[in-house]
Amino acid sequence: MTEHATSDERRPANRGPRAAAGNRAALVTAAREVYAAHGLDAPLSAIARRAGVGQGVLYRHFPDRDAVAAAVLEENVRQIEQAAAAEDATPDGVLGVLTWHLAQSAAFIGLLHADGASGRSTTGHAYARDLSERVERALRGCLPDGHRLADDLMLAVAMVSGAVTGPTPETREHRAVAAWRLLGVTVGPVRPFAG
Amino acid sequence: MTEHATSDERRPANRGPRAAAGNRAALVTAAREVYAAHGLDAPLSAIARRAGVGQGVLYRHFPDRDAVAAAVLEENVRQIEQAAAAEDATPDGVLGVLTWHLAQSAAFIGLLHADGASGRSTTGHAYARDLSERVERALRGCLPDGHRLADDLMLAVAMVSGAVTGPTPETREHRAVAAWRLLGVTVGPVRPFAG
Amino acid sequence: MTEHATSDERRPANRGPRAAAGNRAALVTAAREVYAAHGLDAPLSAIARRAGVGQGVLYRHFPDRDAVAAAVLEENVRQIEQAAAAEDATPDGVLGVLTWHLAQSAAFIGLLHADGASGRSTTGHAYARDLSERVERALRGCLPDGHRLADDLMLAVAMVSGAVTGPTPETREHRAVAAWRLLGVTVGPVRPFAG
Amino acid sequence: MTEHATSDERRPANRGPRAAAGNRAALVTAAREVYAAHGLDAPLSAIARRAGVGQGVLYRHFPDRDAVAAAVLEENVRQIEQAAAAEDATPDGVLGVLTWHLAQSAAFIGLLHADGASGRSTTGHAYARDLSERVERALRGCLPDGHRLADDLMLAVAMVSGAVTGPTPETREHRAVAAWRLLGVTVGPVRPFAG
DNA sequence: AATGAATGAGGATTCATTCAT
DNA sequence: GATGAATGAATCCTCATTCAT
């Protein structure tokens, strides 16, 4: 009857197993961008589209939507851990990296608020707590004994994250730094960790 | 086409126009509870159900989702304004009331985070800013000149709100108080404003 | 809890039985205007609002939505009948009145298409047929014997009504006249019947 | 929040992408039938159901209601164009095909009435105009110069479409032919175009 | 007799997730 | 391993209609 639709088009070709790793990375990157632009409730289809893959691929790599968010956060946390583990790590420097991630990523902020009752899945909670603890361990490891905030480390982080609002990363960065200052803490350069 | 019919079955009774005011109040209360339990994205139908009214009633009283949230926040803000306007208002006391609302209401916290890029409506933003300013005015009005936080009042509030996480109001209350302490501020009794 | 809403306002006062007839007329007028502006599917609430009465009044006068449309058409048809019954009635003149109604009223056009399967109620159909017959009788009564269209009177009317499209009454009027011309018929001045 | 879950129950089987083209065709066919039976305002869900697909499929193929109607009309118009482009095309023959479509399809008639103020979308209007012009071009292309209706071609078509009412295609066909006759035009066999 | 609130069914639309290819 | 179509539940929102006052 009608012209026969969409499906006979040429498929982009199966790039084989080699692409798998790349796809995963592309998805995480895409997720970070989409989350930043549209919040954590963005449709998964948008993430897949931006990553340039089909939705099936997303599900191959991540069992459900929480897993996607987790993967994004995982990266944030890992960078902080690396910054803290670096030989020349300084408290200021590590906080700078932490702050950069806070200012950068809506998802990362969401994490620190996740345990409130915001209708996220239970698994999500467990995972969030885990990530939170890893951040704490990393920070504590490089703070001098008896630091003013030692006993309230994650509380302070949560407070700063609360201050991190605003439309652009720049605004958010400024507010984050101001928040640390209000807590009597100086942070080093706000930037991602680069080896 | 539109049949929108009514099954001739028994309807749950129309309590008549007299119920209108009560219904609105019930909706606001229900909204507060549902927001607390499921976050600001909770379905409106859940709110209507909990208020014991049909969905239409919700839409009669509030044109859209934002209006519902606004009504909830309006109440919070008004209490703070009243606390600040009271004759015997003290900074500590007003902050106690503010803190109570922060600890109480997921929605109120959300407000202070609303300007991040979380896909909320533009109208919502304008309204949120307005409420935020009212809180600031109220607080500033009762703070002594040259108060330590004077220049960063709303930043401090945002920070405390960031600290307010946790499953129960009690937990959240504790964390809020701890957060203020970290900022060098003592708050009065954490409780709603009562005349 | 909240400020008590809407219902305590002053009611516009019950103007008593005297208003009833006026209300009915206002509703029919309002319906005609609303239909013209938004089509036959316009919400009844819009009609009641424009008539300046509550929805209950609408239902007091008309059992359902079809009855409202019927009342509007009734008026159209009656004018045509009156034009045809007038002492100095001429075929041209009556057709002019008919044409005016066609060009004026989306609802009237809809009527002539109503017997197609357009999801209208069955009662509606019966009523539509009835009105249609009244128009036919009126026209036939003033047409000279052996008129060119005598055998196809309502077919011709339907054809003209098919031609009556366009955003403004003026456009529609022009097209209606052109359509009659194409059928070899001259119509008198296109205008409502006025005594 | 968005649980959009799938009951683990058995789903009716995913016939896979191969079904896509077939589904689109089924939807267009279903739409034509549903439109004929219930008018252009028929619920989209009814169309999906009749096509035997989920509602999502409908939305995958057509962005909105207008797109569905457009797809149906597109087919009608294309047949007319093909009939007009055929080598042995005669005016009578093409009008026969046109008439068949008029008598067949409530939607097609609706098209020619679409510009009245019936609350249809603006995009819809543009598209309707476009289709209308295609019909005109097709007709004009095969009419002898100086044909009696040349200057009023689409007016005549609209008039005939106005005459096309009645419960069954047969009735509608008869009335259409009678209408053409009243305009002094003879039409060829009323039937779809078949190559 | 009028008002306008309440009810709730129905229709539109969006996505999470599965799965044929 | 990838693709992207299909599924359908859930949510939003809009009215037709009833009925307390």
> Between D144 and C156, where is the model more confident?
C156
Strand E bases within 7 angstroms of protein beta carbons: 1-21
- Alpha-carbon distance of D175 to D159, in angstroms, equals 11
Is a pLDDT exceeding 50 seen at residue A7? no
Closest CA to C157 of C103, C120, C78, C82: C103
Q: How confident is the model at residue D176 (pLDDT cuts 50, 70, 90)?
A: very high
**Highest mean pLDDT: which range of A124-138, C12-26, D179-193:** D179-193
The verdict on D149 and D106 lying in the same domain is yes
By C-alpha distance, the chain D residue nearest C39 is: D118
Q: How confident is the model at residue A129 (pLDDT cuts 50, 70, 90)?
A: confident
Residues in chain A, how many?
195
Would you state the pLDDT for residue A66? 86
Q: Which of B1, B20, B28 sits opposite C1 (nearest CB)?
A: B28
Would you state the pLDDT for residue A126? 72
> Between B192 and C104, where is the model more confident?
B192
Domain total for chain C? 2
The verdict on B191 and B147 lying in the same domain is yes
Choice among B55-69, C154-168, D108-122 with the minimum mean pLDDT: D108-122
> Between C183 and B114, where is the model more confident?
C183
Q: How confident is the model at residue D37 (pLDDT cuts 50, 70, 90)?
A: confident
Mutate: best of D24, D60, D62, D75, partner A, most A CBs <10 A: D24
The verdict on C35 and C90 lying in the same domain is no
By C-alpha distance, the chain C residue nearest D165 is: C116
Residue C12 lies inside a defined structural domain of this protein: no
Q: How many Å from the CA of B64 to C1' of E5?
A: 18
Would you state the pLDDT for residue B113? 57
Would you state the pLDDT for residue D174? 94
Choice among A125-139, C173-187, D97-111 with the minimum mean pLDDT: D97-111
Q: How confident is the model at residue D111 (pLDDT cuts 50, 70, 90)?
A: low
Q: How confident is the model at residue C125 (pLDDT cuts 50, 70, 90)?
A: low
Contact C37, D117 (CB under 8 A): yes
Would you state the pLDDT for residue D1? 46
CA–CA min distance D29, chain A (Å): 9
Q: How confident is the model at residue D191 (pLDDT cuts 50, 70, 90)?
A: very high
Would you state the pLDDT for residue B124? 61
Structure tokens at D45: 């869900």
Would you state the pLDDT for residue B127? 74
Q: How many Å from the CA of D34 to C1' of E13?
A: 20
Contact A87, B140 (CB under 8 A): no
Q: How many Å from the CA of B138 to C1' of E1?
A: 50
Mutate: best of D1, D34, D44, D45, partner B, most B CBs <10 A: D1
Would you state the pLDDT for residue C117? 45
Would you state the pLDDT for residue C143? 86
- Chains C and B, touching by 3 or more CB pairs within 8 angstroms: yes
Residue D142 lies inside a defined structural domain of this protein: yes
Choice among A6-15, A47-56, A87-96, C137-146 with the minimum mean pLDDT: A6-15
Residues in chain D, how many?
195
The verdict on B118 and B190 lying in the same domain is yes
> Between D10 and D27, where is the model more confident?
D27
Residues D26-48, mean pLDDT to the nearest whole number:
92
Residue A1 lies inside a defined structural domain of this protein: no
Choice among A162-171, D10-19, D146-155 with the minimum mean pLDDT: D10-19
Given its phi and psi angles, is residue A191 left (phi above 0), alpha (psi -120 to 50 degrees) or beta? beta
Would you state the pLDDT for residue A122? 56
Q: Which of C118, C163, C166 sits opposite D162 (nearest CB)?
A: C163
Is a pLDDT exceeding 50 seen at residue A119? no
User: What is the model's pTM?
Assistant: 0.84
Size of interface C-D (CB pairs under 8 A): 112
List CB contacts (< 8 A) between D126 and chain C.
none
Domain region containing A122 = 73-195
Judged by CB atoms closer than 8 Å, whether chains meet at B21 and C4 is answered as yes
Would you state the pLDDT for residue A115? 47
Dump pLDDT digits (tens) for A21-60: 899 999 999 999 998 888 888 999 999 999 999 999 999 9
Q: Which secondary structure element, helix H or strand E, spans residue D65, and what is its range?
A: helix D65-85
Which of D5, D28, D63 is the endpoint of a domain?
Answer: D63
Is a pLDDT exceeding 60 seen at residue C2? no
Is a pLDDT exceeding 50 seen at residue C3? no
Amino acid in the structure at residue C131: L
Structure tokens at B94: 């007003």
Q: How many Å from the CA of D157 to C1' of F10?
A: 45
Q: Which residue is nearest to nucleotide F4 (CA to C1')?
A: A54
- Alpha-carbon distance of B48 to A26, in angstroms, equals 41
By C-alpha distance, the chain C residue nearest B76 is: C2
Mutate: best of A159, A164, A185, partner B, most B CBs <10 A: A159
Residues D123-134, mean pLDDT to the nearest whole number:
76
Judged by CB atoms closer than 8 Å, whether chains meet at D152 and C117 is answered as no
**Highest mean pLDDT: which range of A103-112, B157-166, D21-30:** D21-30
Q: Which secondary structure element, helix H or strand E, spans residue D154, and what is its range?
A: helix D153-163
Dump pLDDT digits (tens) for B63-107: 999 899 989 988 899 999 999 999 999 999 999 999 999 988 765
Q: How confident is the model at residue C115 (pLDDT cuts 50, 70, 90)?
A: very low
Is a pLDDT exceeding 80 seen at residue A155? yes
Q: Which of C1, C8, C41 sits opposite B29 (nearest CB)?
A: C1
Contact B57, B14 (CB under 8 A): no
Q: Which residue is nearest to nucleotide E13 (CA to C1')?
A: D59
Would you state the pLDDT for residue B54? 94
Would you state the pLDDT for residue D86? 92
The verdict on A85 and A132 lying in the same domain is yes
CA–CA min distance D185, chain B (Å): 36
- Alpha-carbon distance of A79 to A52, in angstroms, equals 25
Please give the DSSP secondary-structure letter assigned to residue A144: P
**Nucleotide with smallest C1' distance to residue C58 CA:** E2
Would you state the pLDDT for residue C112? 54
Residues A15-21, mean pLDDT to the nearest whole number:
71
**Nucleotide with smallest C1' distance to residue D20 CA:** F5
At D38, which CATH number?
1.10.10.60
- Chains A and C, touching by 3 or more CB pairs within 8 angstroms: no
By C-alpha distance, the chain B residue nearest A42 is: B119
Q: How confident is the model at residue D124 (pLDDT cuts 50, 70, 90)?
A: low
By C-alpha distance, the chain C residue nearest D103 is: C116
Is a pLDDT exceeding 90 seen at residue D62? yes
Given its phi and psi angles, is residue C39 left (phi above 0), alpha (psi -120 to 50 degrees) or beta? left
Q: How confident is the model at residue C10 (pLDDT cuts 50, 70, 90)?
A: very low
The verdict on C90 and C149 lying in the same domain is yes
Residue B195 lies inside a defined structural domain of this protein: yes
Residue B2 lies inside a defined structural domain of this protein: no
> Between D69 and C8, where is the model more confident?
D69
The verdict on A112 and A22 lying in the same domain is no
Residue B168 lies inside a defined structural domain of this protein: yes
Q: How many Å from the CA of B35 to C1' of F16?
A: 32
**Highest mean pLDDT: which range of A158-172, C179-193, D163-177:** C179-193
Amino acid in the structure at residue C91: P
Is a pLDDT exceeding 90 seen at residue D116? no
Judged by CB atoms closer than 8 Å, whether chains meet at A4 and D25 is answered as yes
Mean of per-residue pLDDT scores for chain A: 83
The verdict on D91 and D55 lying in the same domain is no
Amino acid in the structure at residue C89: A
Strand F bases within 7 angstroms of protein beta carbons: 1-21
Structure tokens at D9: 């129950």
List CB contacts (< 8 A) between B41 and chain D.
1-2
Residues of C near D (Cβ–Cβ under 8 Å) read 36-42, 106, 109, 112-119, 149, 152, 155-156, 158-167, 172, 175, 178-179, 182-183
Q: How many Å from the CA of D47 to C1' of E1?
A: 45
Would you state the pLDDT for residue A123? 59
The verdict on D132 and D43 lying in the same domain is no
The verdict on D120 and D44 lying in the same domain is no
**Nucleotide with smallest C1' distance to residue C63 CA:** F17
Choice among B2-6, B118-122, C146-150, D80-84 with the minimum mean pLDDT: B2-6
Closest CA to A68 of A96, A88, A45, A93: A45
Would you state the pLDDT for residue C94? 94
The verdict on D42 and D79 lying in the same domain is no
- Alpha-carbon distance of C50 to D67, in angstroms, equals 33
Q: How confident is the model at residue A182 (pLDDT cuts 50, 70, 90)?
A: very high
Would you state the pLDDT for residue C131? 85
Mutate: best of B148, B168, B182, partner A, most A CBs <10 A: B182
Residue A50 lies inside a defined structural domain of this protein: yes
The verdict on C44 and C95 lying in the same domain is no
Contact C103, C36 (CB under 8 A): no
Dump pLDDT digits (tens) for B119-168: 455 566 677 778 888 999 999 998 888 888 889 999 999 999 989 888 78
> Between D12 and A135, where is the model more confident?
A135
Judged by CB atoms closer than 8 Å, whether chains meet at C36 and D117 is answered as yes
Q: How confident is the model at residue C1 (pLDDT cuts 50, 70, 90)?
A: very low
Kindly report the three-state secondary structure assignment for every residue of chain B. Answer: CCCCCCCCCCCCCCCCCCHHHHHHHHHHHHHHHHHHHHCCCCCHHHHHHHHCCCHHHHHHHCCCHHHHHHHHHHHHHHHHHHHHHCCCCCHHHHHHHHHHHHHHCHHHHHHHCCCCCCCCCHHHHHHHHHHHHHHHHHHHHHCCCCCCCHHHHHHHHHHHHHHCCCCCHHHHHHHHHHHHHHCCCCCCCCCCCCC
Dump pLDDT digits (tens) for B8-35: 444 555 665 677 889 999 999 999 999 8
Residue C11 lies inside a defined structural domain of this protein: no
CA–CA min distance B70, chain A (Å): 18
Judged by CB atoms closer than 8 Å, whether chains meet at C1 and B61 is answered as no
List CB contacts (< 8 A) between D71 and chain A.
2
Q: Which of D1, D2, D41 sits opposite B1 (nearest CB)?
A: D41
